[in-house]
Structure 1
Amino acid sequence: MSRKKGNIAEDLAKNYLIDNGFKIIDRNYYTKYGEIDIIAIKDSIYHFIEVKSGKNFEPLQNVTNKKLEKIINSIYMYLSNNELDVLFCIDIVVIKNGKIDFISNVSV
């Protein structure tokens, strides 16, 4: 996916999250392991959110165990760099054909 399309999807996801009570803390947090698309807080829990979008395929299929491991490593780096000891989870926002699905608390 192009960066432009990715930004559009992330903007849609960000608006969806805000509309559903999340406070956006950061976007496109890069580490040596990869990128966290959106970091948000809701009910005192940090949410590390991967955004996937597509039209002619199932975007969720691109969230592999290897991708989740990179996200987890990036999360621990974020927590360490910001000296945080907080509850957190990994979520996925899937955007397909204009429909947004929120998948909460994903694990490997």
Structure 2
Amino acid sequence: MNQREVGTRQESRAAEYLESLGYHILVRNFRCRFGEIDLIAKQDDTYIFIEVKYRTGRTAGDPTSAVDGKKQKKISKTADYYRMLHQIPMDVPCRFDVVAETPEEIRVYANAFYYQGSGW
């Protein structure tokens, strides 16, 4: 199984888990010229932009460490584009979550980082 197939499987696993927590998944793998967002969901009136990180085990490191400042800016800019494309006003609440997966567990970090964009 290649990396893309593993990623797709883990994103599906994360989406199922998030749905069980009350998230409504709107989009999987949103791509544009600025980057990619693994999952976009909505919960009540809040849009949630979600990065999914998978590691094969604890020795492979903490999955959340891969969402560094550079990655946060890229996700924020991509979220800005999504909001503009779908005419979602800037005053509509949004947040950025990270789902950290290992074969043993799934952890959700709500508000894992703050918006790093320019706010079109």
Q: Give TM-score scaled by structure 1 length.
A: 0.94
How far the C-alpha of 1:76 sits from its partner, in A, is: 0.3
| Matched pairs, number | 108
Deviates more, 1:64-73 or 1:78-87: 78-87
Structure 1: 5+ residue runs without aligned partners? none
Shift of 1:97: 2.7
Cα offsets for 1:1-42 (capped at 9, x unmatched) = 811110011011000011001111001000112100000011
Residue 109 of structure 2 aligns with which residue?
103
| 2:66 corresponds to 1:75 | no
What is the root-mean-square deviation of aligned Cα atoms in Å? 1.2
Q: In the aligned structure 1, how far is the partner of 2:17 from the partner of 2:108?
A: 9
For 1:97, what is the secondary structure of its paired residue? coil
> Which residue of structure 2 aligns with residue 51 of structure 1?
52
Bigger Rg over Cα: 2
* Residue 61 of structure 1: how far off its partner (Å): 1.3
Q: Structure 1 segments of 4 or more deviating over 4 A?
A: none
User: Matches of 2:98 and 2:65 in 1, distance apart?
Assistant: 12
Which range is displaced more, 70-79 or 52-61?
Answer: 52-61
Q: What is the TM-score normalised by the length of structure 2?
A: 0.85
Determine the C-alpha separation between the residues in 2 that align with 1:61 and 1:45.
25
Say which is worse superposed, 28-37 or 66-75, in terms of deviation: 28-37
Instruction: Give 1:88's aligned residue.
Output: 94
Q: 2:54 is paired with a residue of what secondary structure?
A: strand
Residue 44 of structure 1, CA deviation:
1.1
Deviation at 1:58?
Answer: 1.8
- Residue 118 of structure 2 corresponds to none
Identity of aligned residues (%): 32
